[in-house]
Amino acid sequence: LLRPEDSVLVLIDHQPYQLANLNSHEPQMVVNNATGLAKVAKAFGVPTILTSVIADRGGVIFPQITDVFPDQEVIDRTLINTWQDKTVVDAVKATGRKQLIIAGLWTEVCVAMPAIQALGEGWDVTVVTDASGGVSVEAHEVAIQRMIAAGANMMTWLAVASEWQRDWARTEHVAELSELIVKHAGGSGIALLWEQQLLNTPVPSAAG
């Protein structure tokens, strides 16, 4: 299982060009999920590497993500395969972590290539499927099948958050995680707000 102290997150090419031809998911959902993943990584102290490809043409990474790490430099590449970029790989290795978590656009290109190469080099690789996306449902799903066959683990962003939390008795990050659920987990967030409302509503006195 994923452990925050052993995890390192790489967010790849969440840029306007890739988003413009994202057809496997509703685009805003991927923006939301990638942002939620970035925020939960920050909350749990998981080192996060941000990387783009030829940003002067493809656009800079969505501000929803870069705003989570305002002082962090984005590594801009020319290589399509992130795992062939020495700057990115060195940044990952410098963390000393072995659980490599990847999300990006597009799944079939910019996620699959580094995931498969890293697996071949012995890394424990998890791909966050709903913070990624492809040019079609088929492209996304075939890429997932290909990465599973190579040995990658597949998860969603909320599953990653839950696995890092693991036990609600560990209260260190509960407040931050609850806020993230409210803002980024859709119906679960609304239900949490409702629960808080009910817990703070006085019980009506019995009619006399």
CB 192 within 8 A of CB 182: yes
CA dihedral 180, 184, 190, 196 (to 10 degrees): 0
User: Is 160 marked active-site?
Assistant: no
Catalytic member of 49, 53, 110, 143: 110
As to burial, measured by CB atoms within 10 angstroms (0-12 exposed, 13-18 middle, 19+ buried), residue 145 is: exposed
Longest dimension (CA), the chain: 76
Render the burial of 167-180: b for 16+ CB within 10 Å, e for the rest. eeeeeebeeebeeb
Separation between Cα atoms, residue 9 and residue 11, nearest integer Å: 7
What are the catalytic residues? 110
